[in-house]
């Protein structure tokens, strides 16, 4: 950097700086939001050539920052996100000079006709949308065997803790890698089943997969309306709670948000309690889920569970979720994808020829060398459905998933053992709460001997985010496992 004062701050202060740290310097006048944007852009220029986490920079970022700096001097800050740079996953629509493509070259020229509700509330909170992050193409609902973090538009995102060595996690891979590498304060990812929890765990981040209905899905390129949600990705629980507070709210265009009214005006930072684990009853779901772990990672998780106990939690070992060994299908996703994507594509830029899932498939076939490195078997499978959601397989799978994930799943275990939360390793338990639409929070739990991040995930029933945040914060503050990657 030519500005040596900013260079010093960038190298010695900005790394791991929290939203609170940033606001302290912004409010004191030591830095401006415009300078903050410049520092993050500098870090992107230095390190993202290899990582490929940021797909596109907002051309208006510096101007937005300057405007928010002026507003701060006149009327003060709007709140904790005023002037704070935020990155958004590339399936979250922004009505500006950036594209919204779900990582696909088929939508590389698509400008959204309106902000997503997520983008809208972030702008209202004073956040600066710095750019879009790369993602697994079509949120990893395109084909089988595609690596996490790969897209035809953005290439392969790598894990900053071990580029080319460790899985970056999917499909919010770019959001995970970018925040781990400190290219912005926080990011928004999306999840259908594990797509926030996985990259958060793999990049030593805090990831919150909210209850479906807490955060609006309007303007987000979908997979399945029964499971999709956006959520925060951050380096600390408090930063994630600040971002969640801004994201939550009723959106009359997304009727499920009416179920989250009780938390619509909540400041989630009020639930952060360093003693939050004292007396909490935590069930450990070992059956099946811990089998996915290597012996080295199992040691890390076992130590984390011991830490929970030291911090005052009552640990109930090896709780059994009745439906764990069920033969689950992804029929619900297959059927809902065509219906939901076709509806979304009706509102994209009218100059584009991509107006349906069939058009996406045709585009991919016409540009096979660029688009079909890993095929499109899942897209074709979804296209074979009627798109009307009338099929017997779909309707039966929908009821099956709901019952076995809630009444005969998470809620059964919580009630049986009077638990505050269930603990899973990394994102390996993501499937059941995803089908239930229930919340989970993952927190850094340490590293394997090779340096690969390991996460511990707390899961609860619908709208139990306040409890989960309390538990996650107490664990984070009692252990402080997170270390920044060495770039």
Crossing angle of the two packed helices 61-75 and 33-51, in degrees rounded to 10: 150
Is 171 in the active site?
A: yes
Kindly name the residue from 195, 201, 405, 464 that is annotated as catalytic: 195
Distances (CA, A) of 254 to 73, 356, 395, 400: 36, 21, 22, 24
Kindly name the residue from 171, 193, 405, 440 that is annotated as catalytic: 171
Q: Which helix (H) or strand (E) holds 399?
A: helix 392-405
* Gap between the Cα atoms of 347 and 350, Å rounded: 8
Classify burial at 242, counting beta carbons within 10 Å of its beta carbon; exposed 0-12, middle 13-18, buried 19 or more: buried
* Gap between the Cα atoms of 396 and 262, Å rounded: 31
- Alpha carbon 359 to its chain centroid, in Å, reads 28
Strand partners, 336: none
Number of CB atoms found within 10 A of residue 3's CB? 13
Kindly name the residue from 34, 52, 53, 89 that is annotated as catalytic: 89
Chain length of the chain: 487
- Alpha carbon dihedral 233, 238, 244, 245, in 10-degree steps, equals -160
Number of CB atoms found within 10 A of residue 78's CB? 15
* Gap between the Cα atoms of 282 and 441, Å rounded: 14
Is 195 in the active site?
A: yes
Number of CB atoms found within 10 A of residue 411's CB? 16
Q: Which helix (H) or strand (E) holds 4?
A: helix 4-12
Phi/psi at 238 (nearest 5 deg)? -65, -45
Q: Which residue has the tokens 């709901």?
A: 402
Question: Beta 314-316 vs 281-284: how paired, if at all?
Answer: parallel
Copy the structure tokens of residue 415. 């009630």
Where do the DSSP E strands lie in 41-148?
54-57, 85-89, 128-133
Cβ(194)–Cβ(330) below 8 Å: no
Euclidean distance between the first and the last CA atom of the chain, given in angstroms as a whole number:
17
Per-residue exposure over 423-433, b if at least 16 CB sit within 10 Å of its own CB, e if not: bbbbbbbbbbb
Is 255 in the active site?
A: no
Cβ(189)–Cβ(202) below 8 Å: no
Classify burial at 265, counting beta carbons within 10 Å of its beta carbon; exposed 0-12, middle 13-18, buried 19 or more: exposed
Residues involved in catalysis: 89, 171, 195
């Amino acid at each position: 950097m030519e500005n040596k004062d900013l260079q010093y701050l960038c190298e010695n202060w900005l790394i791991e700086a929290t939203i609170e740290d940033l606001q302290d310097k912004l409010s004191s006048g030591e830095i401006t939001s415009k300078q903050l944007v410049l520092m993050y852009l500098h870090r992107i220029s230095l390190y993202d050539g290899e990582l490929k986490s940021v797909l596109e920079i907002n051309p208006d970022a510096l101007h937005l920052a300057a405007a928010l700096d002026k507003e701060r001097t006149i009327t003060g800050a709007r709140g904790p996100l005023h002037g704070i740079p935020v990155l958004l996953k590339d399936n979250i629509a922004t009505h500006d000079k950036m594209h919204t493509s779900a990582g696909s070259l088929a939508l590389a020229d698509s400008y959204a006709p309106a902000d997503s509700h997520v983008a809208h509330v972030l702008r209202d909170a004073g956040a600066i949308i710095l750019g879009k992050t790369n993602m697994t193409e079509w949120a990893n609902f395109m084909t089988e065997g595609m690596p996490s973090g790969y897209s035809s538009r953005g290439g392969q995102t790598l894990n900053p803790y071990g580029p080319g060595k460790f899985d970056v996690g999917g499909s919010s891979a770019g959001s995970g890698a970018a925040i781990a590498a400190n290219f912005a304060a926080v990011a928004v990812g999306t999840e259908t089943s594990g797509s926030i929890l996985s990259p958060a765990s793999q990049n030593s981040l805090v990831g919150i997969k909210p209850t479906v209905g807490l955060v609006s899905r309007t303007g987000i390129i979908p997979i399945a309306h029964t499971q999709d949600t956006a959520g925060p990705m951050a380096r600390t629980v408090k930063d994630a709670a600040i971002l969640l507070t801004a994201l939550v709210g009723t959106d009359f265009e997304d009727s499920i948000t009416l179920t989250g009214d009780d938390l619509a005006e909540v400041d989630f930072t009020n639930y952060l309690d360093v003693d939050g684990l004292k007396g909490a009853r935590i069930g450990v779901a070992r059956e099946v889920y811990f089998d996915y772990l290597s012996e080295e990672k199992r040691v890390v998780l076992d130590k984390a569970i011991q830490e929970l106990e030291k911090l005052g939690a009552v640990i109930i070992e090896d709780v059994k979720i009745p439906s764990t060994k069920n033969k689950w299908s992804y029929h619900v996703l297959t059927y809902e994808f065509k219906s939901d994507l076709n509806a979304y594509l009706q509102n994209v830029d009218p100059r584009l020829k991509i107006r349906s899932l069939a058009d996406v498939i045709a585009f991919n076939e016409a540009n096979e060398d660029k688009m079909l490195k890993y095929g499109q078997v899942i897209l074709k499978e979804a296209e074979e459905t009627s798109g009307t959601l009338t099929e017997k397989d779909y309707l039966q799978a929908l009821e099956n998933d709901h019952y076995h994930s809630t009444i005969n799943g998470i809620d059964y275990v919580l009630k049986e053992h009077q638990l505050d939360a269930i603990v899973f390793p990394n994102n390996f338990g993501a499937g059941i709460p995803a089908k239930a639409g229930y919340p989970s929070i993952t927190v850094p739990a340490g590293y394997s001997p090779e340096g690969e991040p390991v996460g511990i995930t707390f899961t609860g029933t619908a709208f139990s985010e306040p409890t989960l945040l309390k538990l996650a914060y107490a664990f984070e503050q009692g252990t402080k496992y997170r270390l920044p990657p060495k770039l």
